[in-house]
Amino acid sequence: MGRMSFARVTTAVTAALFAVVAVASPASATTAPDTWPEDDYTALQWIATFIGGALLLIALIWIIAAAMNAKLRHFEPTIPSAAEIEQAAERDAISH
C-alpha cells in the first residue's frame, strides 16, 4: 500500500476521536451526583466569565503578535539621490 499521506492519517485520527466522543456523549448526559456542590454562578457571572475569557485570549494573542512584529526587521527602501539617478540615466544612455 505504501506510505500514508498526512491527510489520510489526519482523517483516520479525526474519525476515531469523533467515534469516541459520540459513544461517550450519552454517558456525560447523566445528572450530577448529589454529593457535588450546587452551581453558585449567576447568569451574569457566566456571561462575564465567557466574554472575559475570550477577551483575555484575544489580548494575549494580540500582545504576542505585537511583540513578534516589533522584533522583526522591516524592509526600508533607500531613496537614491539626484546624482545617483543622473549617473544611472547616463549609464543607460551609454549602454543603449
- State the alpha helices, DSSP H only, in the chain: 6-28, 43-71, 82-95
> What string of DSSP letters covers 67-93?
HHHHHSPPP-PPPPPHHHHHHHHHHHH
Q: Mean pLDDT across the stretch 52-58?
A: 94
% of the chain exceeding 90 in pLDDT: 24
φ/ψ region of 83 (left if φ > 0, alpha if ψ in -120 to 50, else beta) reads alpha
> Whole-model pTM?
0.40
Asked if pLDDT for residue 26 goes beyond 70, the answer is no
Residue 96 pLDDT level (bands cut at 50, 70, 90): low
Location of C-alpha cell 505585537 = 66
φ/ψ region of 50 (left if φ > 0, alpha if ψ in -120 to 50, else beta) reads alpha
